[in-house]
Amino acid sequence: MIEQFPGEVNCVACEGYGGLPLGTAISLIRGYSLTLVRQNPKKYGTRCWIDGHLPVEDDKILVIDDVFTTGGSLRRMTDVLTKNGGRVIGAGVVVKRGEGKMYVPLRYLLTAEDLL
């Protein structure tokens, strides 16, 4: 997946049960910073949306998830990251099964039809 964004990425962002193992593996293998985006902000303390690496202006972020259906969760992650100063350059998923809209280039490894 990461080869589809050659030389552009230095930070991976993910959320949820599907994205977390993928984002963690990519960050460990490539040495990228790892940003964890919460599905909802904390209800105490800092009330933040982001755990782990807080993106800075120079970061080139790839948002990662397991399945793309409508793009809602990837768009929400992109919104949270850009509001916090990050620059999302693309999104990567394992399976694309829907036709949702994205603000950034979307790359995928398989379609739902490939699995049938």
Residues with Cβ within 8 Å of residue 16, at least 6 apart in sequence: 39, 65, 73
CB 64 within 8 A of CB 109: no
Find the farthest-apart pair of alpha carbons in the chain and give their distance in angstroms, rounded. 46
Residue range(s) defining the domain that contains residue 30 = 2-115
What are the pLDDT digits (tens) for 47-59? 888 999 999 888 9
CB 54 within 8 A of CB 40: no
User: Of the ranges 35-44, 60-69, 88-97, which one carries the lowest mean pLDDT score?
Assistant: 35-44
CATH number at residue 45: 3.40.50.2020
Reply yes or no on whether the pLDDT at 60 is more than 90.
Answer: yes
What are the pLDDT digits (tens) for 16-38? 999 999 999 999 999 999 999 99
Q: How many structural domains does the chain have? A: 1
The pTM of this model reads 0.89
Q: How far is CA 82 from the centre of its chain?
A: 12
Reply yes or no on whether the pLDDT at 1 is more than 80.
Answer: no
User: Of the ranges 18-22, 45-49, 74-78, 111-115, which one carries the lowest mean pLDDT score?
Assistant: 45-49
Reply yes or no on whether the pLDDT at 6 is more than 80.
Answer: no
